[in-house]
Structure 1
């Protein structure tokens, strides 16, 4: 009886929690609609209606955003008291910082120097732009304040990088006093050289009037602009403290002009020009580029550039170049010299096995391949294909209750982030989410990914899993929104059902309005030109770029384009994924250069790091999504498995 009563109480509490959660969601949706309406009323200047509606939103998480809209809308007629009041009332809100910056910029623009100084002293902004504005405000103050500003100007000017335009009025006033001196100018010149800011150094050369110091700068340019002179005695005429950096910059420039000549000269002269502890910078620069370009002399020169394998990054490029040449001994040596932690990467474990198998065909390495097949990764899945064993998911999940998520969602910043996400205001939502995470304890941060997932904010759920290193939490890392749309268009374009969704997972992490720095848009990150061409080819209705933010349009066009790439490249998903990411023209070029290589070698030797990782991820994600959907997964077709390095001859095939 007691057990029955306990179960009844538990059932009641769960039901009550679900009812409260459902009621709260409905209430929030009503408030959300009222919030949108209130914003519109304010913009339409219907203030009395706006104020009445605002009183109904006193418990709504985004109420401060209405206050912000009011003060921001009348910023030109506001005063520091009202701005300070908002900042102090909402110190943790990202919009408080935005308002503070806008107000400071307004005060400078309207030349309200005293007001700026007073407000900045109370609400400083940790950015050089606003510090320079503060010094400009001081410059327009008392004689004592002006003197202090001119003194500070030198400190702000004497850096190795260009300062923002906000510093120009201060620097102009400082220069009107006869500054910089030649000594100051040459000092900043060398600071810019140390940071590799060549354009700034060119500008500063004009500021050096002293003949002796001018000659010093001109000697640098003589060597840098004619880098073959770096071998000569000219370098020794520069101050000793600047000789090493001059040699490094000059050799890098020389390499860009004549790679092999510069590399041989560097190997010959580096010990006499640059301290031992600084040499790796240039050796890496040259070696990595030689190997990435698969230069015929790269392996030999790399051995001379870095004989002790000090650079892990250079060692990796040496291994890839050795793979491209199928020099299995060099591959084995390279993996052997990787740092211990990097050598544990499934990628390098795989290539160590393949190299050993080619060097010693009598040793099957079946146990090593079997062990690697336990890993949930591209190379773990390749090993599983070779070993003819099931793909391992090794999945974990946390038991999270609705009540836990409800409690977490009540944190003010989390509540604001959730509402902004649901309103589609992702810039503000991301800022509030970062604020929320900064206020959470470790346990709450672990829950945060599940909260984001419950909202459909899959990108933040995926990021949360990565930042908390929960790599085995497949439920967080691999959501499947728009499943029916993806499957319908996969079938329509003769694609494996998980191929388009794997592309979307890699491209945007299912952020429907994602936009890349180069202009790709939406779930499957289509470039507008590609979308237009694909729409025309497949007779898909498409009029404007904004339609790419519509999931159905994006999935329709993205799947069609992916299908085109698959047909173009012999139904090979690796080539198709590479073409989707880097463009078919590049894949055509890479196939012409290295298409004769085994498929796994070709993938690992893709010149672009981003595309290489992209292809490996997409192929692995296809397997994971097939498993999650209960389908029989395969990484590669039987034909493609035969193209792997281990199956290229009867001697090495398992």
Structure 2
């Protein structure tokens, strides 16, 4: 993303009479049955639902009911009342909530209402009403609220019964603070228990938890724990203070931890601190190796002088897959092809099977004057439909290997799915533009189902334009060859005409959207990036101003048409900054142009494939590979052939021109020995988010 910046079936018999004590059970069964005989929802019903739902959310009360006339039998009707009740939480009483839960048991909006009202009761400290409504398994915050409720009614805390499970977690919500305070006052939080949780928190990097727990330890132990917290929070200050710490096991742990974390931020400063602290502390072999590993790794990600030598000389016990991999990357950055081969030979067997290292083995052999061996490697790799497989096909003059597969429709299974009330709700929620709720209903309806059923459901979703269900479902085995479903041509979103108007290749625009959001129109990242092409509101506003396009605020980015219109223009801006090169613009789109400019300044003379391999951010490296591979697949889907990848990876500083009508294109064929696609770069289904730290 640009850094300017998750059923019951119908019973075959009527339920006409029952005992009064079974009334709730009957209602549950009746309301969760499928509506096989019900007519398909109409556009008028959907429009009425949207209007009533907006009113329920914004006004609460009963105003929505007038707009919901005729929707009583509509499959999403329970969502209306739940939305109104959630709006009115502050004035609700237990009876109204229980009435809804009784009428709509086991439904997702009922579960949400229960959680929300329990939270409101906890805010009111109304523990009398809280306990009858509470159920186990509603999350740590409500678990702690329930413990508060029981204490308010005179129940004493028991560590094993009440706290042992919570105590295993490195961080807890604020709702647990009163419970932990009470446990401490009751003498339940012994030093042994406190240290056990502190150790877990340290392992998880939860410095705040460590600092909070430290205050409950005896004074000397509290000081030691605070030093562990300091190592997590401010490693530079911790290594400075460590020169005066005693050589005890926990202080050694804190010092080693601080050195490793400082290496990530400032490898040269960590080097100097290591020279001092290794004389003061009797580090264990494991601690010593962990520090040496971190120093070598982060000197490598900085591409410092002697980084290659440090990695090669790293003791075997200190090596990891990351250091072995970075030995190859540093050798590539130096274009030391003999060192590249040596580093690849030092990789683990599993790493050596990765397409990236098979490609660079061939590349090194070619550079070292061994073209026959290189071609043998390229030819084998060219049979794989991945970024490195496509690069190998270009270098061996082979067609791209794409072998489409078709999933047979199972009519009986499809009818069964469509008759399921949970699936009906899922499809209908998608139809009324509530994709998050749709995904939740989908997940519940398919819970425990087999792979065949899930695939048929995804096929039904694809046929209805719900593309992200297919992208995420068809993510392994033969399903990776369901290119039509995994790489949808969402023409209604205007990708092709908008890309053409922006002056960029439509297949690249499709690839960015696919990599960014996997076609989830409501995708929302932690950096506030939104929609199909993951724009943040500030970027959307800037692009709109630059192109004289309308701008209706950040939420408009969830409209696929708006998102694609602005996203293609933003891509055009990134491309223009980098001489039109889509591969460099993709890197900037993910990591930001400031970072990319730094990398170009340091290594901008490298060939494109080598430069990509030396991008310090793992996510951005994989993102560029994924987008370029997706561009090939979308190009093929749009035209039946593809512009070669090596034409898309223009040398740094040269101008790239989007392919015109007469451009040379690469044929696509299906090798006779086709098997399942490997899950390598270019075959990843999930969307990504920008990284802000070096690879590790």
- Normalised to the residue count of structure 2, the TM-score between the two structures is 0.77
Q: How many Å apart are 1:376 and its aligned residue?
A: 0.6
Other structure's SS at 1:227 match: helix
Match of 1:127 in 2: 139
Q: How does 1:564-603 map to 2 (within 5 A)?
A: 564-603=573-612
Q: How does 1:452-463 map to 2 (within 5 A)?
A: 452-463=461-472
Aligned-partner Cα distance in 2 for 1:74–1:483: 38
User: Deviations along 1:88-114, whole A, 9 cap, x unmatched?
Assistant: 665543223212212322332333323
Cα distance change of structure 1 residues 509 and 307 upon mapping to structure 2, 3 Å threshold: same
Q: Which of 318, 323, 326 matches 2:327?
A: 318
Which region of structure 1 is more displaced relative to structure 2, 580-589 or 603-612?
A: 580-589
Match of 1:249 in 2: 257
Question: In the alignment, is the contact (CA less than 8 A) between 1:309 and 1:337 conserved in 2?
Answer: no
Matched, 1:294 2:311: no
Which region of structure 1 is more displaced relative to structure 2, 450-459 or 622-631?
A: 622-631
Higher helix share: 1
Question: In the alignment, is the contact (CA less than 8 A) between 2:159 and 2:188 conserved in 1?
Answer: no
Match of 1:558 in 2: 567
Cα distance change of structure 1 residues 427 and 217 upon mapping to structure 2, 3 Å threshold: closer
Q: How does 1:194-593 map to 2 (within 5 A)?
A: 194-210=203-219, 212-213=220-221, 217=225, 225-227=237-239, 235-236=246-247, 238=248, 240=249, 242=250, 245-255=253-263, 259-260=267-268, 262-263=270-271, 269=278, 273-276=282-285, 281-307=290-316, 310-361=319-370, 363-400=372-409, 404-466=413-475, 470-482=479-491, 485-593=494-602
Aligned-partner Cα distance in 1 for 2:214–2:586: 49
Question: In the alignment, is the contact (CA less than 8 A) between 2:243 and 2:280 conserved in 1?
Answer: no
Aligned-partner Cα distance in 2 for 1:597–1:256: 25
Aligned-partner Cα distance in 2 for 1:367–1:489: 42
Match of 1:17 in 2: none
Other structure's SS at 1:148 match: coil
Q: How many Å apart are 1:308 and its aligned residue?
A: 6.0
Match of 2:148 in 1: 136
User: Deviations along 1:495-537, whole A, 9 cap, x unmatched?
Assistant: 2332222222222223334333222233322333333333333
Q: How many Å apart are 1:78 and its aligned residue?
A: 5.8
Cα distance change of structure 1 residues 306 and 572 upon mapping to structure 2, 3 Å threshold: farther
Aligned-partner Cα distance in 1 for 2:550–2:71: 42
Aligned-partner Cα distance in 2 for 1:593–1:394: 40
User: Deviations along 1:279-316, whole A, 9 cap, x unmatched?
Assistant: 65444433332222212232222234343684112222
User: Deviations along 1:396-431, whole A, 9 cap, x unmatched?
Assistant: 121225664343232222211111111111221121
User: Deviations along 1:159-217, whole A, 9 cap, x unmatched?
Assistant: 6734322123334445556886777766655554454433333344444455x545655
Cα distance change of structure 1 residues 266 and 491 upon mapping to structure 2, 3 Å threshold: same
Q: How many Å apart are 1:231 and its aligned residue?
A: 7.9
Aligned-partner Cα distance in 2 for 1:69–1:367: 63
Cα distance change of structure 1 residues 527 and 73 upon mapping to structure 2, 3 Å threshold: closer
Other structure's SS at 1:602 match: helix
Q: How many Å apart are 1:600 and its aligned residue?
A: 0.7
Aligned-partner Cα distance in 1 for 2:621–2:92: 54
Q: Which runs of 5+ in 1 are unaligned?
A: 1-20, 645-654
Question: In the alignment, is the contact (CA less than 8 A) between 2:170 and 2:209 conserved in 1?
Answer: yes
Cα distance change of structure 1 residues 186 and 102 upon mapping to structure 2, 3 Å threshold: same
Which region of structure 1 is more displaced relative to structure 2, 353-362 or 199-208?
A: 199-208
Aligned-partner Cα distance in 2 for 1:611–1:148: 49
Question: In the alignment, is the contact (CA less than 8 A) between 2:394 and 2:646 conserved in 1?
Answer: no
Aligned-partner Cα distance in 2 for 1:596–1:372: 26
Cα distance change of structure 1 residues 614 and 345 upon mapping to structure 2, 3 Å threshold: same
Which region of structure 1 is more displaced relative to structure 2, 376-385 or 36-45?
A: 36-45
Q: How does 1:15-164 map to 2 (within 5 A)?
A: 27-36=41-50, 39=53, 43=60, 45-46=62-63, 49=66, 53-55=70-72, 57=73, 60-69=74-83, 72=86, 83=97, 86-87=100-101, 90-120=104-134, 123-142=135-154, 145=155, 147-148=156-157, 161-164=170-173
Question: In the alignment, is the contact (CA less than 8 A) between 2:292 and 2:318 conserved in 1?
Answer: no
Cα distance change of structure 1 residues 39 and 528 upon mapping to structure 2, 3 Å threshold: closer
Which region of structure 1 is more displaced relative to structure 2, 533-542 or 588-597?
A: 533-542
- Normalised to the residue count of structure 1, the TM-score between the two structures is 0.81
Aligned pairs, number: 611
Question: In the alignment, is the contact (CA less than 8 A) between 1:515 and 1:521 conserved in 2?
Answer: yes
Question: In the alignment, is the contact (CA less than 8 A) between 2:211 and 2:225 conserved in 1?
Answer: no
Q: How many Å apart are 1:471 and its aligned residue?
A: 1.6
Question: In the alignment, is the contact (CA less than 8 A) between 1:373 and 1:380 conserved in 2?
Answer: yes
User: Deviations along 1:225-272, whole A, 9 cap, x unmatched?
Assistant: 45267689x554x2x4x3553343132245357624644876995998
Aligned-partner Cα distance in 1 for 2:252–2:394: 51
Question: In the alignment, is the contact (CA less than 8 A) between 1:569 and 1:575 conserved in 2?
Answer: yes
Q: How many Å apart are 1:350 and its aligned residue?
A: 0.2
Q: How many Å apart are 1:595 and its aligned residue?
A: 1.0
Cα distance change of structure 1 residues 447 and 528 upon mapping to structure 2, 3 Å threshold: same
Other structure's SS at 1:438 match: coil
Which region of structure 1 is more displaced relative to structure 2, 23-32 or 551-560?
A: 23-32
Match of 1:8 in 2: none
Cα distance change of structure 1 residues 39 and 587 upon mapping to structure 2, 3 Å threshold: closer
Q: Give the structure with higher Rg (CA).
A: 1
Question: In the alignment, is the contact (CA less than 8 A) between 1:489 and 1:556 conserved in 2?
Answer: yes
Aligned-partner Cα distance in 1 for 2:301–2:377: 29
Q: How many Å apart are 1:546 and its aligned residue?
A: 3.6
RMSD (Å), alpha carbons? 3.9
Question: In the alignment, is the contact (CA less than 8 A) between 1:414 and 1:433 conserved in 2?
Answer: yes
Q: How many Å apart are 1:359 and its aligned residue?
A: 2.9
Question: In the alignment, is the contact (CA less than 8 A) between 1:160 and 1:189 conserved in 2?
Answer: no
Cα distance change of structure 1 residues 381 and 483 upon mapping to structure 2, 3 Å threshold: farther
Question: In the alignment, is the contact (CA less than 8 A) between 1:228 and 1:254 conserved in 2?
Answer: no
Cα distance change of structure 1 residues 92 and 451 upon mapping to structure 2, 3 Å threshold: farther
Which region of structure 1 is more displaced relative to structure 2, 486-495 or 258-267?
A: 258-267
User: Deviations along 1:602-636, whole A, 9 cap, x unmatched?
Assistant: 11212222222222122222211121122541134
Which region of structure 1 is more displaced relative to structure 2, 340-349 or 167-176?
A: 167-176
